[in-house]
A and B are shown apart, each in its own frame.
Chain A
């Protein structure tokens, strides 16, 4: 292993940036080039099935994907029983930008972030790769303001006939309805739905559909967009985990995004189309008039940066902790999903008020605090803060792990 030692010595280790599912990510200096890099260390140790499946997948796909909006895998080497992946260093991520109340995002800024997200995604889909874990903290931002997709551990080739995939992908808040109904055959539409959630999050400055379980996630989707009708989504009744929900009329989209322009609302509605077959593609989305109408997307190097505090500088590739939502509890106005009539109107009013509340908070000098809250608690009842941003939870993860290890196509 003399070779691997030489390779390892090339990288001068610095501080830890974060810890993910499969190992630590730390900052380092490439002594050959002077370049700052991020090294993801993947534990091999006593692995039962050798080098981790997702690590191999990430390596394989990132070697194939070379694009300005996709993070670059510079090198890979084994050392001391671990596998090291060397990435270009990225200053921060989109999640930090969204939750930083000191940052004001202009309409052009929002447009720029979404455009770069979709450009990276378009390249993936052009190469027949689904990302399957689109969320703000997997969208890294470099020192030059460029946004890049990262973490391809759940990514997958698509396009082969009869390939069946697991439906246990995406962090729940970004999971498309067909996945929540257990679909095994799906396509790039699942990434588009997640990108739509990210778009909504950029507009709202908070996560959009914060379900606490799969059923709750579906409930929140249907509260926002109405129960899908047969003409809207003919195939939904055939999905494995389909369940019927009580009818809810869709509130006007503008009531959910009062600050958005007509073009933005139009693009959002197309990204949140229920039927994956008619959902807008990434390519079509990039051609939408939203990106060509004024104001144009901001130049990346002019985009605002998070405050240079130690906490917000952490760039975590596989964060399991989400931000704490700082909106105060409004117990009297919270309405359970699925109810209609007068209470529905109350829900709308609650949404509007929440949005204004968020706007006011942009003047506050608070930064995100990470406080854990039990996932199963309904915060609207007990007045607790809303739950942390979920990654794939433990049950999902073990199921996913089992699927990935044993699934054969």
Chain B
């Protein structure tokens, strides 16, 4: 842990001069203040000044997201309300430190507020009781304690005061857009596996809420990333009309698509080792382990790319996985090598050395990459950086310079063709992944059938573990797919122009469709529910509660109201 301090200090020393955005409209300014780059979010968070490092903050973010998902499901609010509450919470901690604001109190306030904002209000009493139960779920006496008037009134004052603080911190920006709507609108236009695709993409959107993606990208960008990942997961090829690629309808650039997809996948990488329950110290340790894996994974992939022979590549992949498992289980985190020393073990050692270098000095890491990387790797890294720049400029709507940079990128990426060998690799991997997914699906169905209780934090983490294992396989394929995208430089500008022409039309048709397809929407939701897993099935059922249930809920709430009157 001491070794990390110098790196962090150097990070703090870095100053990023991205200030001085000027917007024409107030509305743009209002929206703009809630979007910033990942670097800004990670390096300039208010929590950083109070000694909370990135790893702990990431853990805290997931913690309050899990809490809000649970709270929302118990209060029986729609997913949109839960999503709004999560975004309120993200934005709050973009401006306020975790050290001075208990995350669960703030999360409770955000749920109470989101309920009112999204026209799904829940009585304050219900919000407080359910929240208190979740926070103190391991304390048998808590359920009784909250019913004491003194304890309840104290919680109530805390929430009411918190509401004002949250509203002021949010600048009263209560309009929140979500990826769900653009996601559903887009998938309607596809003719392939609509329901399965929508369901999996919906899952990716929900999981992505636990990251800071919604503070970096607009809802339609996130929707595009979710559809992209869902298609990979389901091995569905998304349609292209002639030369037009599906994601161009989203007004999203390849770099944005790549960035969103990568960050969603990071969620599953980091969650292979669940954070330990209990004290904050253990949580922080878990975060440390999770974060330390990311560079390891990157180095492994780099070493894989170095080896040029397919058979060794495949065998390396097989042997690396159990090694990682061993590494994860050991307490001190040091790997125990088998007696059989092979080239692959040497690769693992090299990655460990790189990891240590990463911890010590960023500059050395950069130089190390340049030494070990081939010329192709260098080109790829350069492309990635420029892609990030393009993404930022696109966000700020500087079209002309962006398009110029894009053209340069297109030229550079041209030479990166795919050899017949790589095509063969993709096919083999697909077959393996398909078999693995088949097994996973069977296991998941069995497990889902057993689980009937509302999922708590542990269950959600287990599900993430399963998803992570599956998606690790997908990760590699995504990289190859991205190369394919880069190898299509021609006509992008042309497609962009077409897109601008059709944008207004699409919006108009979207509104019209939205009204006309009311019945169709209901039917589709029903179909999605049929295909969904049992847990999501429950969620869907709650979201679109049948008419029979509403009177019941109304009665319950009315009785609650009458109780309030009695008080």
Q: Is the CB of B514 within 8 A of A159?
A: yes
B160 at the A/B interface (Cβ < 8 Å)?
A: yes
Q: How far is the CA of A49 from the CA of B112 in the complex (A)?
A: 9
Instruction: Flag whether A359 is at the interface (Cβ < 8 A).
Output: no
Contact of A59 among B112, B168, B172, B521 (CB under 8 A): B172
Contacts A49-B124, A78-B164 given; indicate if A56 touches B175 (C-beta within 8 A).
Answer: no
Residues of A contacting B21 in the complex (Cβ-Cβ under 8 angstroms): none
Min distance, Cβ A39 to any Cβ of chain B, angstroms = 14
Stretch at the interface among A96-104, A200-208, A256-264, A401-409: A401-409
Does B116 belong to the interface (CB within 8 Å)? yes
Determine if B173 is an interface residue (Cβ-Cβ < 8 Å).
yes
Is B554 positioned at the interface, with any CB of A under 8 Å from its CB? yes
Query: In the complex, what's the smallest C-beta–C-beta distance from B547 to chain A, in angstroms?
Result: 9
B561 touches A402 (CB 8 A): yes
Known contacts A48-B564, A50-B159, A161-B522; decide if A409 and B172 are in contact (CB<8 Å).
Answer: no
B174 contacts A406, CB within 8 Å? no
- The answer to whether A406 touches B164 (Cβ under 8 A) is no
In this complex, which of B122, B123, B167, B172 has the most chain A Cβ atoms within 10 angstroms of its Cβ?
B172
Min CB–CB distance A76 → chain B (angstroms):
4
Interface assignment of A375: CB less than 8 Å from any CB of chain B: no
Q: Mark A258-294, 1 if CB is under 8 A from B, else 0.
A: 0000000000000000000000000000000000000
* Known contacts A50-B163, A59-B174; is-contact A4 B554 (Cβ 8 Å): no
A44 interfacial contact with B, CB 8 Å:
yes
Complex Cα–Cα for A83 and B120 (A): 22
Give the residue name and chain of the B residue nearest to A51 (CB).
B163
A49-B124, A51-B164 as given contacts; A56 in contact with B27, CB under 8 Å = no
Q: Does B40 make an interface contact (CB < 8 A)?
A: no
Across the two chains, which residue of chain A brings its CB closest to B163?
A50
Report the stretch among A60-68, A170-178, A215-223, A328-336 that lies at the interface: A60-68
Chain A, residue nearest B517 (CB): A161
Evaluate contact between B561 and A63: CB separation under 8 angstroms.
no
Q: How far is the CB of A79 from chain B (nearest CB, A)?
A: 9
Residue of A nearest to B120 (CB): A408
A60–B163 CB distance below 8 A? no
Answer whether residue A3 sits at the interface, using C-beta atoms and an 8 A cutoff.
yes
**Contact at A50–B112, with CB atoms within 8 Å?**
yes
Q: Which of B30, B120, B519 contacts A409 (CB 8 A)?
A: B120
Are A51 and B116 also in contact (CB < 8 A) when A159-B514, A406-B123 are? yes
Q: A63-B174, A63-B175 in contact; A56/B119 too (CB < 8 A)?
A: no
Quick one: given A56-B116, A78-B168, are A48 and B557 in contact (CB under 8 Å)? no
Q: Chain A nearest CB: distance from B88 CB in Å?
A: 12
A53 CB → nearest B CB, Å? 5
The 8 A CB mask of A67-98 against B (1 = contact, 0 = none) is 00000000011100001000000000000000
Q: Does B439 contact A (CB under 8 A)?
A: no
A157 at the interface (CB under 8 A from B): yes
Say whether A47 faces chain B, with CB atoms less than 8 Å apart.
yes
CB distance from B78 to the nearest CB of A (A): 9
Contact B26 A157 (CB under 8 A): no
A231 CA to B122 CA, complexed, in Å: 43
Q: Which residues of B contact A408 (CB under 8 A)?
A: 119-122, 553-554, 557
- Give bound CA distance, A51 to B110, whole Å: 12
Q: Mark A152-170, 1 if CB is under 8 A from B, else 0.
A: 0000110101100000000
Which size bracket describes the interface of B in this complex? 35 or more
Q: Shortest beta-carbon distance, A25 to chain B, in Å? A: 18
Min CB distance A185 to B, Å, is 11
Complex Cα spacing A402 to B113, Å: 18
Which A residues are CB-close (under 8 A) to B26?
66
Tell yes or no: B515 within 8 A of A by CB: yes
Q: Which of A44, A63, A161, A409 contacts B164 (CB 8 A)?
A: A44
Q: Which residues of A contact B273 (CB under 8 A)?
A: none
**B435: interface (CB < 8 Å):** no
Instruction: Name which of B123, B164, B564 has the most chain A CB atoms within 10 A of its CB.
Output: B164
Contact A53 B116 (CB under 8 A): yes
A78 B167 Cβ-Cβ under 8 A: yes
Cα-based distance from A407 to B174 in the complex (angstroms): 20
Tell me the bound Cα distance from A59 to B116 in angstroms.
Answer: 12
Digit string of A29-48 for contact with B (CB within 8 Å is 1, else 0)? 00000000000000010011
Complex Cα distance, B167 from A44, in Å, reads 13
Residues of A within 8 A of B175 (CB): 60, 63-64
CA separation between A193 and B509, bound complex, in Å? 27
A83–B558 CA distance with the chains assembled, in angstroms? 28
Q: How far is the CA of A55 from the CA of B514 in the complex (A)?
A: 28
With a CB–CB cut-off of 8 A, which chain A residues contact B112? 50
Tell me whether B518 is interfacial, beta carbon within 8 Å. yes
A residues within 8 A CB of B473? none
| Shortest Cβ distance from B550 into A: residue | A408
Docked complex Cα distance between A51 and B114 (Å): 12
Say whether B172 contacts A63, CB under 8 Å: yes
Cβ of B163 and Cβ of A406 under 8 Å apart? no
A407 contacts across to B, CB distance below 8 A: 121
Asked if B532 is an interface residue, CB under 8 A from chain A, the answer is: no
B117 at the interface (CB under 8 A from A): yes
Cross-interface CB contact of A53 among B121, B558, B560, cutoff 8 Å: B121
CB distance from A164 to the nearest CB of B (A): 9
**Chain A residues with CB below 8 A from B172, complex form:** 59, 63, 76
B160 to chain A, nearest CB (A): 5
Chain A residues near B168 (CB, 8 Å)?
3-4, 77-78
Which A-chain residue is minimally distant from B174 (CB atoms)? A60
Inside 8 A of B116's CB, which chain A residues have their CB? 49-51, 53, 56
Identify which of B117, B168, B518 gathers the most chain A CB atoms within 10 Å of its CB: B168
A-side contacts of B554, CB under 8 Å = 406, 408
Residues of A within 8 A of B514 (CB): 159
A-B contact pairs, 18 of them (CB 8 A): A3-B168, A4-B168, A44-B160, A50-B163, A51-B164, A56-B116, A56-B174, A60-B117, A63-B172, A66-B27, A77-B168, A78-B168, A156-B119, A161-B522, A402-B561, A406-B557, A408-B120, A408-B557
A residues sitting closer than 8 Å to B (CB atoms) are 3-4, 44, 47-51, 53, 56-57, 59-60, 63-64, 66, 76-78, 83, 156-157, 159, 161-162, 402, 404-409
Task: For the A-B complex with A78-B168, A162-B518, A408-B122 known, give 7 more contacts whose Cβ atoms are closer than 8 Å.
Answer: A4-B168, A50-B112, A56-B116, A56-B117, A60-B175, A63-B27, A63-B30
Q: Which 3 A-B pairs have the closest CB atoms?
A: A161-B518, A60-B174, A76-B172
